Amino acid sequence: MDKLIIEGGIALEGEVPISGAKNAALPLMAATLLARGRHGFSNVPRLRDIRTMQNLLGHMGALCESGEELTIDTSGIATLEAPYDLVKTMRASVLVLGPLVARYQRARVSLPGGCAIGARPINLHLQGLQQMGADIALEHGYVVATAKRLHGAAITFDQITVTGTENLLMAASLAQGTTILRNAACEPEVVALAEYLRKMGARIEGAGTEEITIEGVTELTPATHEVIPDRIELGTYLVAAGITHGHLQLTRCRPEHVEAVIRKLQMTGLKMEVREQSIEAWGTGEIQSVDMKTWPYPGFPTDMQAQFMALMSLGNGVSLITEQIFEKRYMHVSELRRMGANIEVEGRSAVVRGVGRLSGAPVMATDLRASASLVLAALAAEGTTEISRVYHLDRGYEAIEKKLAAVGARIHRVRDIRGA
Ligand code: EPU
């Protein structure tokens, strides 16, 4: 397993181009199952999760080719199953459920288990499909869903769910009649999926609001689409500018997708010049401690909580951070503490008392965003940090050490010969 070695204490300076968003690309890839033929996507990040989705679609009989563009030809779909091995490495595999039942009337998808950030059930995906007429059975760890043809339904989510909204959006596009999704997720990734579905011929209104109306059609056709920039990668590099007191130009991004993050980081003292497709950010003086609560979009994203906590570890006072989306998303706390952070967790909240400095230490990545917070802390820490299990980071940050090295970070990757 690879390790990252980071020597901290350098103010980062220069330009970082933002990659396409993994969480936008994955549902687009699943949507290819809705229409037979060749689909094409540009700005797809080169990441482990994308390869996992390619493997999953390949297992079903799709032909995936990744060059400048990712093309997916779904003419040969023969296996309507997402096996345990793939679902366990990537929960987003569950996104194939809705498209498969809608188009092929049958799907067998392994149940994802709990994960490092919480229990993460998929009951709302399943309830929605049942309301649309699917029979759902749980057999040998698999969800087996069957339906003659799904029908439209009025579905109110008990809780806002991003992939749940995406799954039902895809299923409803080929259902008979009208589906209304209430308390739907408003995330930009949901809007991006709806845009692609519309290009394929779907009739969708209201994506990006809490109520989405979908009039089912009988057939969809493949199209091409550009993946939106990754707002979480953007937020992570904004924190990198703040935590290292650096000066970064973040380009090829969509600042309107990170308004809550921009507002919060401005309160910490980060200065920003926001342009249409780029943000110039520079850290000034002391890092101000501020409180933060995670919310569904357009609130402060849970996927930025760990990175924000790394920043608050070096704040000038006390910050109360409350995680409202995933109950256990504090796996980074013990590792940040090993670097000298003063953080106490109580239930869903963390009290972060700023310390004067962090010091490099051997630490372990536990999930994608936790790993990003360790990289950020390491960039600011005195001395050398060794981050093991960086495969978590490779799931969601394209070329992270190259991008950081290009703006002055002393970072390199090594193979851990002990295989720890
Ligand atoms: N939930 C249920 N039942 C369901 C679905 C969700 O109780 O059927 C609960 C979850 O347990 C959680 C909350 O609802 O407490 C929200 O979960 P959501 O379904 O929105 O999460 P997700 O769709 O599984 C996506 C992202 C995550 C991101 C969350 C929240 C993708 C592929 N994943 O997950 O991204 O944290 O939305 O914004 O889009 C990441 O990129 O690091 C990541 C974990």
Which pLDDT does position 419 carry in this prediction? 47
H-only helix segments in 271-420 = 305-312, 331-338, 368-380, 391-394, 400-406
Query: What does each of the 420 residues of the chain score in pLDDT, given as a tens digit?
Result: 899 999 999 999 999 999 999 999 999 999 999 999 999 999 999 999 999 999 999 999 999 999 889 999 999 999 999 999 999 989 999 999 999 999 999 999 998 866 777 778 899 999 999 999 999 999 999 999 999 999 999 999 999 999 999 999 999 999 999 999 999 999 999 999 999 999 999 999 999 999 999 999 999 999 999 999 999 999 999 999 999 999 999 999 999 999 999 999 999 999 999 999 999 999 988 999 999 999 999 999 999 999 999 999 999 999 999 999 998 899 999 999 999 999 999 999 999 999 999 999 999 988 999 999 999 999 999 999 999 999 899 999 999 999 999 999 999 999 866 544
Euclidean distance between CA atoms 308 and 368, whole angstroms: 14
Of all protein residues, whose CA lies closest to atom 9 belonging to ligand 1?
120
Here the tokens at position 27 are 């549902």
Residue pair 37/25 in contact (Cβ under 8 Å)? The answer is no
Contact between 370 and 306 under an 8 Å Cβ cutoff? The reply is: yes
pLDDT, position 418 = 59
| CB-ligand 1 contact for 162 (6 Å cutoff) | yes
Distance CA 278, CA 320 (A): 30
Tell me what pLDDT residue 275 has.
98
Residue 108 Cα to ligand 1 midpoint, Å, equals 21
**Distance from Cα 123 to the centre of ligand 1, integer Å:** 12
Contact 164 CB / ligand 1 (< 6 Å): yes
Query: Is residue 13 within 8 Å of 246, Cβ to Cβ?
Result: yes
Helix (H, G, I), strand (E, B) or coil at 331: helix
Quick one: pLDDT at residue 285? 86
- What is the model's pLDDT at position 415? 80
Specify whether 115 is catalytic. yes
Is the backbone of residue 79 left (phi > 0), alpha (psi -120 to 50) or beta?
A: beta
Catalytic residue selected from 64, 115, 186, 253: 115
What three-state secondary structure class fits 292?
strand
User: pTM of the full predicted structure?
Assistant: 0.97
Structural domains in the chain, sorted by start: 2-19+229-415 (3.65.10.10), 22-226 (3.65.10.10)
Q: Residue 65's pLDDT is what?
A: 96
97 lines ligand 1 (CB under 6 A): no
DSSP code per residue over 360-393? --EEE--SHHHHHHHHHHHHHSBSEEEEE-THHH
Query: What is the distance between the alpha carbons of residues 50 and 53, in angstroms, rounded to a whole number?
Result: 5
DSSP string, 144-170: EEE-SS-B--EEE-SS--HHHHHHHHH
Residues 6+ apart with CB under 8 A from 227: 20, 21, 24, 25, 28, 41, 42, 43, 44, 45, 192
Cβ atoms of residues 126 and 136 within 8 Å: yes
Return the closest-CA partner of residue 134 out of 89, 96, 186, 98: 98
Q: Is 319 in the pocket of ligand 1 (CB under 6 A)?
A: no
Q: What is the pLDDT of residue 56?
A: 97
Ligand 1: which of 49, 89, 325 to mutate, most ligand atoms within 8 Å of CB? 325
CA of 151 to the centre of ligand 1 (A): 25
pLDDT computed for residue 114 by the predictor? 67
236 CB within 6 A, ligand 1: no
Could you check whether the bond before residue 121 is cis, i.e. omega within 30 degrees of 0? no
Residue 125: name the closest of 150, 144, 98 by CA.
98
Which residues are CB-contacts of 180 (< 8 A; sequence separation ≥ 6)?
Answer: 152, 153, 154, 155, 211, 212, 213, 214
- CB of 331 within 6 A of ligand 1: the answer is no
